[in-house]
Amino acid sequence: MTPEGIHAGGNVSTVRHFVLLGFSDLPELQGFLSGVFTIIYLVMLNGNSLIITVTILDPALQRPMYLFLANFSSLEICYVSVTLPRILFEIWTQKTNISLLGCTMQLCFFLMLAATECFLLAVMSYDCYVAICHPLRYPLLMNPKKCAQLAAASWLGGIRVQIRQTCKIFFLHFCKSKRITHFFCDIPPILKLACGDTSAHEGSVYVVAMLFVAVPFMLILASYSKIVSTILRLPTAQGRAKAFSTCSSHLLVVVLFFASGTVTYLRPKSSQSAGTDTLLSLFYTIMTPMLNPMIYSLRNKDVIAALKKLFFQTQRHRSP
């Protein structure tokens, strides 16, 4: 076998590692990117950790809505940690090689967590729907056992399918190159390296994307159509404003996540480009998880009150 791993009798490569090009084509910006991504990661970790902390400690937030919010913040920490530490490692060390196993694991965890995010956003929209459209039945429909089951289903629902999809992708032969024109192991740039016709695998990706992206999104749309209809029938402007503020943060997060994710995975292959894929992926894998704690904390009076209480308690304990 040659250093590139090419078999003597053909052009099929036995790949042992890939090269993540990432931001290597911007050598003059490596220091700037390192600083920006480090700040983003710290902001994301601290923001989501604060939300988890206040939802656990504050009795006023011991409600289904905030149980799901704590799960969502935990998910965002895991989701970003699949890609961003690797990006920082590559920038700091200038080592862009990633083993076949490392690439497989990164893609698998990324897909499982992305599926969890889609499901959890759908569950949170259902919670808003029940709270606004059926307030009297809310304690019964969203009891602690039901909430725990919905949260667990969101985390576990995509594991089997995404493991199978990851295995199918990495059972392909790769002969075009080992250079992934992306900052992490994602499906579109990996399929571009495969030998022969990959249309069957691309079709499978579309089916799974429809199942894990389009179906939850349609459920969210159905929930919000009922929510908007109910809010518009409320007799007072104050009541309508209060009802809308209950779910506006979630709606904004849904739009940010699904818009960029849908364009990335469901747009025609002919319109795909490495630069556009990178920008879109940066948005929904890194920027949105960083913005989510700000969106939920700045637009939710209960979370703001809990954060203030936690801050004052911390200051009181530190005072002599």
Q: Is 115 exposed, middle or buried (0-12, 13-18, 19+ CB in 10 A)?
A: buried
What residue ranges define each of the domains in the chain, with the CATH number in brackets?
Answer: 17-267+276-301 (1.20.1070.10)
Mean pLDDT of 247-252: 81
**pTM of the model as a whole:** 0.86
What would the pLDDT profile of 68-120 be if each residue is shown by its tens digit? Answer: 999 999 999 999 999 999 999 988 988 889 999 999 999 999 999 999 999 99
The band of 239, judged by pLDDT with boundaries at 50, 70 and 90, is confident
Strand pairing report for 17-20 and 179-180: parallel
**pLDDT > 70? residue 60:** yes
Q: DSSP labels for 60-128? A: GG-SHHHHHHHHHHHHHHHHHHTTHHHHHHHHHH---EEEHHHHHHHHHHHHHHHHHHHHHHHHHHHHH
Residue type, 226: K
